[in-house]
Structure 1
Amino acid sequence: MNISAAIKLTIAMAIFGSIGFFTINTGIPAVELVFVRCICATLFLSLMWYITGGHKKEQWNKREVLQTCLCGVFLVLNWVFLFKAFNEMSISIAISIYNLAPIIVLILGTLFLKEKMTVKAILATAVCFIGSILIVGIDNFQSVQSLMNSGFVWALLSAICYALTMLTSKTIHHLSAYSMTFIQTAVGIVMLLPLCDFTVFNELTTSNWLYILGTGIIHTGFVYFLFFDSIRNLPTMVVSVLTFVDPVVAILLDVLVLSFVPSLFQTFGIILIFGSILYIMLKPTNTSNDNTSEEKQVPMS
């Protein structure tokens, strides 16, 4: 295993884990924050794409470009919904629901791609559902209003959009990770520009701006560069396991810095969700397909 690549990916996932903490300190709504994030990512990653010479070797394919644009719509919606969830509920709870994405991929693959869902996958899905109810609270499922106010719907929509991002990028083989991200974030700029309220930037403090630029440059530009630079040199299984650094850091920050104290039921629900996801991700796979990581893999945050 490439130790340097593993360290880079671990650092990237650890920084990703702090995005919820940064988000709630930016002082701006989700749409405007994602818009800034898209601008920073487009500029930073296109620069790295140029510096590394990747633009010279790019294989453009019209179908894949259009597919990447659709993927970009899902990715941007995923970010917007996740940031909305951070504003409505604890980061730990939002991240736990958001990380249901792999389970949702299994469900969507069964419904639309005619993939066979194993007994193991059905069991993991059921356990995750129970875990979700426990961490959000049974009371919040008694009415649509209370469910919306809890932030659960935003977190779930974010997970669904992330799952759709993974599914739509699954058959893209010719475009590099840099060109894909460039297209996706450029789509985000065009998509969110008419929806932005630029007056929200008028009375921000220096601290707000530092968190905003940190979210855009560090969490989206620098960290995506580390992510793409490392996963191509690591086995898929290692990448899958190291992505758990993201939610672990997020939950630790929520508990240690933001003083979130989960109840016994919430703690059990979090364990159920991540235990089930880990169970699915570590299931035996065909070793012939597990030697290298997918370069096109999309980061979790």
Structure 2
Amino acid sequence: MLEITASMLIWGTLGMFVLWSKVSAIDLTFFRCLIGALSIGLYLLKSGRRISFNRSTLIISLAGIFAVANWLFLFKSFQLASITIGNMAYYLQPIILLLLGFMCKFERFSWRKVILILLACLGVALTIRLDSFAVPNMLLGVSCALFAAILYSLVTLMMRNIHADIFVIIFIQLLIGTLMTAPLASFSVPAPSSWWCLLIIGLVHTPLAYFLYYRGIKKASVTQIAVLSYLDPIVAIISDIMFFNQHLNGVQLFGISLTFLAGFMLIRLKLR
């Protein structure tokens, strides 16, 4: 589970680099895919690894489409709402993952889990605050985050049982992402101050983090993956408070605590 933990800590800092880059969501997704694909492609060439095409390649490709769409909607949610609000809406993802696990029979159904899931959802709702939807673009930002969460859950389930070279998997998905977003990208040259953000997102938050994540999910249960996923928003919220002067009131802090407590109780149920 160390790999998943490390990937979540890395992804927790993604939002601040997205905002610091001051690049549109579609251009950001394009550069993320392009930089990541070039770095992984060079590694594959140097190491002499080959890409084989089979049934797994089709699943990897479809998961890649979902993953790239997930990034696009997540980036947009950060820009429309905030890192904290976008992340808390996005991190209904572990709940969606568990529900899909119940439906696909990867996880045993239990009313205790359902109650904890509902408590986590309530916590997210308190964090977002219904009155915040009066703020322009807030509803759209939250909707983007929720849609990204659904896509991310599908990617996780699709990739759990894929036994292929992790670097090949990441390269295929980033190549698909580059081709998907290229027709929509503006190709405007980012400001010099934006390039270091793009490079960190393209190299650290993408090849490195996905290598750790895909390696880790093969060793963990759906419940463990779901709960460890909450490390991401914890880091994201801390970064939002430290670097973007995000202020949380008592209700929002209670909502965050409720969500994380419900997640902690879920993993305790799994470990018994």
TM-score range, shorter chain: 0.7 to 0.9
CA contact (8 A) 1:106 1:117 kept: no
Give the alignment's TM-score, normalised by structure 2.
Answer: 0.84
Give the conservation status (yes or no) of the 8 Å contact 2:128–2:252.
yes
Tell me by how many angstroms 1:170 deviates.
3.0
Counterpart-to-counterpart distance in 1, 2:84 and 2:23: 21
Residue number in structure 2 paired with 1:290: none
Contact 2:94 2:229 in 1 (8 A): no
Task: Tell me the SS of whatever aligns to 2:269.
Answer: coil
Query: Is 1:156 the equivalent of 2:146?
Result: yes
1:295 aligned residue = none
1:96–1:274: 8 Å Cα contact kept in structure 2? no
Query: Which residue of structure 2 lines up, in the alignment, with residue 123 of structure 1?
Result: 115
Residues 2-56 of structure 1: per-residue CA shift (max 9 Å, x gap): xxx94x7665543322110000111211111011111122122233445566x26
Query: Kindly tell me: are residues 21 and 141 of structure 1, through their superposed partners in 2, closer, same or farther at Cα, counting changes over 3 Å?
Result: closer
Q: State the 1:209 CA deviation.
A: 1.8
Pairwise CA distance, 1:194: 1.4
Comparing 157-166 and 236-245, the one that deviates more: 236-245
Matching residue's letter, 1:209: W
Aligned partners of 2:217 and 2:90: how far apart in 1? 25
Amino acid aligned to 1:278: F
More helix by share: 2
- Count of residue correspondences: 271
Determine helix, strand or coil for the equivalent of 2:22: coil
Superposition deviation, residue 263 in structure 1:
1.3
* TM-score, length of structure 1 as denominator length: 0.77
Match of 2:172 among 166, 172, 183: 183
Instruction: Give me the whole-angstrom Cα distance separating, in 2, the residues matched to 1:116 and 1:229.
Output: 23
Q: How does 1:269-280 map to 2 (within 5 A)?
A: 269-280=255-266
| Residue ranges of structure 2 left out of the alignment (5+ in a row) | none
Structure 1 residues 16 and 229: alpha-carbon distance in aligned structure 2, compared to 1, 3 A threshold: same
Pick the aligned partner of 1:100 from 88, 92, 103. Answer: 92
Is 1:84 the equivalent of 2:76? yes
Name the amino acid aligned to 2:19. I
Residues 96 and 273, structure 1, Cα contact 8 Å, conserved in 2: no
Alignment partner of 1:33 is 2:28? yes
**1:168 and 2:163 correspond:** no
Question: 2:161 & 2:4 partners in 1: Cα distance?
Answer: 24
Output one character per residue of 1:142-191: Cα deviation in whole Å (capped at 9) or x when no partner: 89x87634x1101111111100111222332x312222111111111111
Kindly report the root-mean-square deviation, in angstroms, between the aligned alpha carbons of the 2 structures.
3.2
Moved more, 41-50 or 79-88: 41-50
Query: CA 1:282 to 1:255, structure 2 compared with 1: closer, same or farther past 3 Å?
Result: same
The one of 67, 70, 80 equivalent to 1:75 is 67
What is the distance in 2 between the residues matched to 1:219 and 1:257?
19
Query: Which letter maps to 2:262?
Result: S
Alignment-mate amino acid for residue 15 of structure 1:
I
Q: 1:277-296 maps to which residues of 2 (within 5 A)? A: 277-285=263-271
Contact 1:16 1:223 (8 Å CA) reproduced: yes
Q: Is the 8 A contact 1:30 1:80 kept in 2?
A: yes
**2:249 alignment partner in structure 1:** 263
Q: Aligned partner of 1:247: which letter?
A: P
- Secondary structure of the equivalent of 2:20? coil
Q: What secondary structure does 1:132 align onto? A: helix
How has the CA–CA distance of structure 1 residues 94 and 179 changed in structure 2, closer, same or farther, with 3 Å as cutoff? same
Structure 1 residue runs of 5 or longer lacking an equivalent are: 287-301
8 Å contact from structure 1 (residues 177, 228) kept in 2: no
- For residues 110 and 233 of structure 1, what CA distance do their matches in structure 2 show? 18
In 1, are the aligned partners of 2:64 and 2:172 still within 8 Å (CA)? yes
2:232 paired residue number: 246
